């Protein structure tokens, strides 16, 4: 959970202005919402004036008919008030919710456009919380806070104006009390926020400890640590209780003080009012209207001080979202990019490429690789040698620091993204599946594919029997991240997905972990079908893949140290021979 509370909001005005610029297409709804809210407030403020009329011209004048007329007018006003208030509630929420739909989409599409460098720099938890916790704190403001803020603010201003119009001297006295209330509210909000930040932090620890206690319960019991665990938990839990009580103390003084100030305001009103009614300079009706207005002063101010919290979190969430929006897209389509000309051959040339994530630490230097159409090249090397980075550069997840990579003679950076990706596919180490059905996963890269297309590919890859053996076949739900299937089975799905995309070039990052023998055989068969007739670059982790390649390139510390067929390298390169020995030992 991101704690919006401790994020300092700089330049709230500028933030709000920028947020407002994102509200395209909402101009009329916003105007409408403002107008109905204004009307609702005015109608509400008329009520006590009607009562004043009823008291002064009806009750004080012993005129029953006027009393009934005043009551009738009030009822009429209330009917109007009901509908405009409802309209105001609804329309402000409509604006807020529509705005959020747009915001979610704008932020997420920007996030997806960002380069892989951004994704590897930023923790995925942080990215997720931008789209969830942060937007949700805006949601809270949009659905409830905005209308509260608007209507309460208008009410306070309106009541102040009404009081001043009815009797400005008495109004001034009341404003004095209200000023104290405002000051008290500001102090209270500050204290309450601090206290609740603490509560939030400590409940986080309580829940983490609780979860650990549950997932580790077998170990706890095996070593009879039940009571130790319980007392550790008890301590953390007690600290949460203490934080809660600190928060309770912070808010326990506020409401009594507000209640007392309300009585003070009444006393002031009554003191001045009653004296003036007696000396004839004020009517009883005015006094009663004044007392009724007082309530509408206090509750809105309490409400506003609550909304202030929501507003603060909303603004700090906005600031974080704008950070994402301001992020540069390092890998983007160049202006004037052109489509890869047909027919695609799939020849790749890496020419004098150097690369560093961080300028001080070069990852690759002087890389020259030529892969001709239909060739299979294996890249081998130790963990950290830079071999995976070569694959990522070929996919243009990053652009080289210097040098150039071409596909069919065209610089990758000059090609339109869509035409380049149509020609190439990366198969990452672990078969990643999206929640949904198998069909959706197979056709992920080719949404137009029919079931026949899918089955044909599955047959060619030799995995149609497996899918047919599943009770729901293509409709099988793979569950979150494909957890319905084993690692090997997920890999098979990923291979089929690539096959359906039908790229000319395949970049395969081989899985490091071992599969069970049966699946291993299936994966090999599927891979053979997939790679045949296509250019392929395999980041190899096992002997068999190197043996099968047309050519092997060995990378060490970011440079190519050997190149040739497997047999040539076994004879000619000590480093390669050593690597092969490690592989062989692993097999034994």
**Stretch 378-407 residues interacting with another protein (CB under 8 A):** 395, 397
Q: Which residues pair with 552 in a beta bridge?
A: 378, 564
- Phi and psi at 137, nearest 5°, equal -70, -25
Examine residue 267 and tell whether it contacts another protein (CB under 8 A): yes
Q: Of 9, 30, 164, 257, which one interacts with another protein (CB under 8 A)?
A: 257
- Applying the rule CB under 8 A, the residues between 113 and 152 that interact with another protein are 113, 116, 119, 124, 127-128, 131-132, 136, 139, 143-144
Examine residue 82 and tell whether it contacts another protein (CB under 8 A): yes
Instruction: Give the alpha-carbon dihedral of 175, 177, 182, 183, to 10 degrees.
Output: 130
The footprint of another protein on this chain (CB under 8 A) covers a number of residues equal to: 136
Q: What is the DSSP string of 197-266?
A: HHHHHHHHHHHHHHHHHHHTHHHHHHTT-HHHHHHHHHHHHHHHHHHHHHHHHHHHTHHHHHHHHHHHHH
**Residue among 229 and 545 whose Cβ is closer to another protein:** 229
Q: Of 35, 38, 45, 78, which one interacts with another protein (CB under 8 A)?
A: 78
Q: Which residues of 46-81 are buried (b: 16+ CB within 10 A; e: fewer)?
A: ebbbbbbbbbbbbbeeeeeebbebbeeebeebeeeb
Examine residue 425 and tell whether it contacts another protein (CB under 8 A): yes
Q: Where are the alpha helices (DSSP H) in 502-542?
A: 517-531
Q: Of 1, 20, 245, 470, which one interacts with another protein (CB under 8 A)?
A: 245
Smallest distance, Å, CB 284 to another protein? 6
CA 189 to each of CA 150, 154, 302, 308, 357: distance values in angstroms, whole numbers, following the listed order? 19, 21, 10, 8, 45
Provide the 10 A C-beta neighbour count for residue 163: 24
**Residue among 244 and 476 whose Cβ is closer to another protein:** 244
Instruction: Give the separation between CA 315 and CA 259, rounded to whole angstroms.
Output: 30
CA dihedral (222, 223, 227, 230) positive or negative? negative
Examine residue 292 and tell whether it contacts another protein (CB under 8 A): yes
Q: How far apart are the first and last CA of the chain?
A: 47
Q: Of 27, 112, 361, 452, which one interacts with another protein (CB under 8 A)?
A: 112
- Binding range to another protein, per CB under 8 A, among 169-177, 407-415, 513-521, 558-566: 513-521
Residue 373 near residue 535 (C-beta atoms within 8 A): yes
- Applying the rule CB under 8 A, the residues between 293 and 352 that interact with another protein are 295, 299
Smallest distance, Å, CB 337 to another protein? 13
Strands 410-411 and 402-407: antiparallel
The 550-579 contact track toward another protein, x by CB under 8 A, reads ------------------------------
**Residue among 275 and 567 whose Cβ is closer to another protein:** 275
- Applying the rule CB under 8 A, the residues between 185 and 224 that interact with another protein are 206-208, 210-224
Residue 405 near residue 415 (C-beta atoms within 8 A): no
CA dihedral (380, 384, 390, 392) positive or negative? positive
**Residue among 6 and 238 whose Cβ is closer to another protein:** 238
Smallest distance, Å, CB 389 to another protein? 13
**Residue among 13 and 214 whose Cβ is closer to another protein:** 214
Smallest distance, Å, CB 324 to another protein? 12
Q: Of 49, 426, 463, 496, which one interacts with another protein (CB under 8 A)?
A: 426
CA dihedral (307, 308, 313, 314) positive or negative? positive
Q: Of 229, 312, 316, 389, which one interacts with another protein (CB under 8 A)?
A: 229
- Binding range to another protein, per CB under 8 A, among 180-188, 232-240, 373-381, 399-407: 232-240
Smallest distance, Å, CB 97 to another protein? 5
Return the SS3 of 50.
helix
- Binding range to another protein, per CB under 8 A, among 291-299, 362-370, 483-491, 573-581: 291-299
The 153-192 contact track toward another protein, x by CB under 8 A, reads ----------------------------------------
Residue 558 near residue 369 (C-beta atoms within 8 A): no
**Which residue, 395, 457, 392, 447, is CA-closest to 421?**
395
Q: Which residues pair with 415 in a beta bridge?
A: 338
Instruction: Give the separation between CA 278 and CA 256, rounded to whole angstroms.
Output: 32
Examine residue 104 and tell whether it contacts another protein (CB under 8 A): yes
- The tally of CA atoms less than 13 A away on the side-chain side of residue 124 is 1
- Applying the rule CB under 8 A, the residues between 468 and 487 that interact with another protein are 480-481
Smallest distance, Å, CB 469 to another protein? 20
**Residue among 393 and 569 whose Cβ is closer to another protein:** 393
Instruction: Give the separation between CA 363 and CA 383, rounded to whole angstroms.
Output: 12
**Residue among 120 and 567 whose Cβ is closer to another protein:** 120
- Applying the rule CB under 8 A, the residues between 442 and 471 that interact with another protein are 444-445, 447
**Residue among 169 and 227 whose Cβ is closer to another protein:** 227
Instruction: Give the separation between CA 361 and CA 389, rounded to whole angstroms.
Output: 14
Q: Of 16, 23, 191, 244, which one interacts with another protein (CB under 8 A)?
A: 244
H or E stretch at 507: strand 505-509
Smallest distance, Å, CB 18 to another protein? 21
Smallest distance, Å, CB 539 to another protein? 13
Return the SS3 of 539.
strand
**Residue among 164 and 264 whose Cβ is closer to another protein:** 264
**Residue among 318 and 506 whose Cβ is closer to another protein:** 506
**Residue among 225 and 437 whose Cβ is closer to another protein:** 225
Smallest distance, Å, CB 540 to another protein? 17
Residue 24 near residue 105 (C-beta atoms within 8 A): no
Smallest distance, Å, CB 122 to another protein? 9
Examine residue 544 and tell whether it contacts another protein (CB under 8 A): no
**Residue among 69 and 354 whose Cβ is closer to another protein:** 69
């Amino acid at each position: 959970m991101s704690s919006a509370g401790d994020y300092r909001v700089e330049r709230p005005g500028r933030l709000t202005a920028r947020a407002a610029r994102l509200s395209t297409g909402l101009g009329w709804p916003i105007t409408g919402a403002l107008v109905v809210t204004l009307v609702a407030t005015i109608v509400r403020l008329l009520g006590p004036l009607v009562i004043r009329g009823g008291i002064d011209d009806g009750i004080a004048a012993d005129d029953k008919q006027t009393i009934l007329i005043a009551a009738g007018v009030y009822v009429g006003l209330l009917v109007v008030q009901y509908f405009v208030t409802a309209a105001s509630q609804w329309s402000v929420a409509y604006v807020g919710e529509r705005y959020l739909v747009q915001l979610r989409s704008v932020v997420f599409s920007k996030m997806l456009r960002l380069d892989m460098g951004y994704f590897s720099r930023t923790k995925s938890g942080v990215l997720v919380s931008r789209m969830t916790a942060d937007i949700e704190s805006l949601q809270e403001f949009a659905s409830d806070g905005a209308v509260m803020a608007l209507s309460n603010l208008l009410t306070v201003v309106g009541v102040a104006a009404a009081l001043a119009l009815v009797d400005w001297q008495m109004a001034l006295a009341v404003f004095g009390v209200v000023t104290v209330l405002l000051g008290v509210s500001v102090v209270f909000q500050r204290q309450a926020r601090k206290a609740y930040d603490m509560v939030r932090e400590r409940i986080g620890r309580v829940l983490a400890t609780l979860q650990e206690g549950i997932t580790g319960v077998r170990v706890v019991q095996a070593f009879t640590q039940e009571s130790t665990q319980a007392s550790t938990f008890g301590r953390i839990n007690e600290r949460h209780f203490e934080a809660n009580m600190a928060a309770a103390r912070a808010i326990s003084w506020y409401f009594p003080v507000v209640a007392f100030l309300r009585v003070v305001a009444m006393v002031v009103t009554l003191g001045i009012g009653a004296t003036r009614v007696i000396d004839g300079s004020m009517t009883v009706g005015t006094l009663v209207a004044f007392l009724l207005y007082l309530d509408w002063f206090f509750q809105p101010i309490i409400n506003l001080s609550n909304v202030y919290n929501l507003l603060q979190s909303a603004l700090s969430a906005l600031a974080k979202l704008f950070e994402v929006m301001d992020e540069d897209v390092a890998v983007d389509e160049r202006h004037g990019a052109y489509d890869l000309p047909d027919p695609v051959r799939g020849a790749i040339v890496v020419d004098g490429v150097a690369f560093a994530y961080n300028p001080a630490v070069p990852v690759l230097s002087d890389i020259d690789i030529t892969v001709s159409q239909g060739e299979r090249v294996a890249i081998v090397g130790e963990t950290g040698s830079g071999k995976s980075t070569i694959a990522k550069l070929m996919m243009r997840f990053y652009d080289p620091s210097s040098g150039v990579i071409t596909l069919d003679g065209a610089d990758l950076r000059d090609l339109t993204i869509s035409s380049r990706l149509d020609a190439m596919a990366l198969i990452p180490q672990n078969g990643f599946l999206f929640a949904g059905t198998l069909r959706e996963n197979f056709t992920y890269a080719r949404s137009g594919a029919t079931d026949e297309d899918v089955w044909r590919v599955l047959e060619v890859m030799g995995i149609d029997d497996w899918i047919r053996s599943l009770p729901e076949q293509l409709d099988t739900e793979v569950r979150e991240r494909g957890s319905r299937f084993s690692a090997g089975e997920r890999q098979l799905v990923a291979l089929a997905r690539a096959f359906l995309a039908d790229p000319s070039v395949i970049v395969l990052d081989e899985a490091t972990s071992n599969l069970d023998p049966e699946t291993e055989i299936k994966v090999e068969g599927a891979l053979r079908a997939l790679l045949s007739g296509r250019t392929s670059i395999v980041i190899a982790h096992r002997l068999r893949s190197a043996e099968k390649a047309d050519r092997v390139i060995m990378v060490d510390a970011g440079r190519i140290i050997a190149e040739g067929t497997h047999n040539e390298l076994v004879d000619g390169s000590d480093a390669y021979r050593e690597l092969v020995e490690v592989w062989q030992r692993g097999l034994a």
